[in-house]
A and B are shown apart, each in its own frame.
Chain A
């Protein structure tokens, strides 16, 4: 703990007050992200990955709100900034990439307009300068004849090209952190790997850390330095990719790892964990995973486990804490 992490999330709690009850979508999430690091975030649909990202960038959709915890960027709190101050963080210090490039760009403005507008919002440059930068960025993300394409509208680009434009947009004010929320899910399989590779390379070139939200454990294994596994609005396990993939501790992670297609191509090994994640209004007492866990015992149903250090990872599981995790290496990866 010598150097301050770039991003530090502590005990984050996000609530959605509704007519009937207050739903807690994120409950006590903590993690750090170091400078230059790529952190993967995985978990089933509804685990709270996107909400965590939105909370960090301060764009929770009302009535959603941060109900507790802190978010620090380079040591400064950003979760309680004013609207105007937070606006200066968005785009300038934290860039965001959404899932669907087809709908992320405004169809009525040229991509040049959208990029220069963003650059000029954050950097004190002239329009000509902003345009020059925009062309440079588009070249960097691999758009051919970038100078000519600047005045094209989004619909004139293919999906993959548009996501490249989106990446350029997210990076155009040189943010220190990029949050990419499933940046390739909506894309053709053939270009997914390219885009992920591009994202990693370009963030590396610009010295930006990445928080990569995805469903794809394969992508995590190839791209990330560390990975956080989320379940029901909590972090089940977080640690270096090698450790989490090779020797997962949390039974949920073990299940997820079983879902990676191996290179050998045995697709029937996409074992699904039986059951589904609880709805927000019906999260069970104790460990939220307990109804689906093969190793459940009494304590899991009664008390909620807190994350503890296991090697370089942190795991929230009673099995691990009580040293009963003999099962952990059931799934060995080649």
Chain B
């Protein structure tokens, strides 16, 4: 376990360093940071002074090290466009994105897994075939178009649910939540479905494929041959084995949900980090881009770590112990 964790930690670190390198390259070499920070009327001397002060004349490797040190303290500099500390701006928008992503992820898992299990167990059922076809359509519909369709139906035509914003939010310390007000919850419904649908279909197909595979294994055959009831065979034995690989891939999917939130946030004008990131891309606001990139990588590494732990918990084979001869 220890060796395993250390190796994992090392890999995570490597990912973070590579991403930091990309972020740094963006920051340092795309456009001139000084030009972005000062107005046209600044004299060359003032520019040079700023350059010196920012350490842009130091060797690149030292600049990189400084970048990493700063990043480790959540210091990503000042937004070119808004002239505010990037960390603060992202921090303000983090709750919106995380709430949306987590609710979508829960939705995707809670609906996707049972549908996958059902379609795996009732391979030739009418409902299974329907769900499978529907899932292909779900995968083919681009996320943003799903959002537009939902807005068209539920906001424009039926006028049941709001089409933009977070509704009323409640401030709890530095965290702002929309989950405690009725209007906040209403505002969350459409974006969460939009963001979760794609992952849901993916999880469903994955669980189904995995289930079909597991059902064929010898230990399932042997469980049936022992006369265990179908319920025990399907939902105890087969399901648990199905979930082992599903956990990994689902974990990876959750990472992408946060990134995909960019699209959903744009469609629903959801005031999260994704929207901020998109604006920063359009305005070449490099510090925000770099910070967002690092944050996503960090969340990803974190999710991976949790997934590993979970895996470890579910699969006894990883909790190695020597076999008795």
Interface, chain A (partner B; CB < 8 A): 57, 59, 87-92, 95-96, 98, 100, 103-110, 117-118, 121-122, 144, 149, 152-153, 155-158, 161, 166, 169-170, 173
Contacts and interface: CB of A to CB of B under 8 A. Distances in A.
A158 B244 contact: no
17 contacts: A88-B227, A91-B227, A98-B221, A100-B218, A103-B217, A104-B218, A105-B219, A106-B220, A106-B237, A108-B314, A122-B227, A152-B324, A155-B316, A155-B317, A158-B323, A158-B325, A173-B227
Given A100-B218, A157-B324, A107 B227 contact: no
Contacts, number: 94
Sorted from nearest, which 5 A-B pairs have the closest CB atoms? A91-B227, A90-B227, A96-B225, A103-B218, A91-B226
B37 interface: no
B219 A107 contact: yes
Interface in B277-325: 314-317, 321-325
Interface in B199-228: 217-228
A103 B216 CA distance: 11
A173 B221 CA distance: 17
B229 interface: yes
Interface of B: 217-230, 232, 236-237, 240-241, 244, 314-317, 321-325
A156 B227 contact: no
Nearest to B315: A108
Nearest to A179: B225
A156 B229 contact: no
B1 to A, nearest CB: 15
**Secondary structure of the B contact surface, majority rule:** helix
A314 B96 CA distance: 80
A158 to B, nearest CB: 5
Contact of B224 (A90, A103, A108, A152): A90
B211 to A, nearest CB: 15
B225 A155 contact: no
A23 B93 CA distance: 65
Contacts of B221: 59, 98
B314 A158 contact: no
Contacts of B220: 106
B9 to A, nearest CB: 25
A106 B227 contact: no
Contact of A169 (B217, B226, B316): B226
Nearest to B243: A108
Nearest to B216: A61
Contacts of B226: 90-91, 95-96, 118, 121, 169-170, 173
A327 to B, nearest CB: 41
A149 B323 CA distance: 11
B220 to A, nearest CB: 8
Contacts of A104: 218-219, 222
A59 B218 contact: no
B222 A156 contact: no
Contacts of B222: 96, 98, 104-105, 166, 169
A153 B323 CA distance: 10
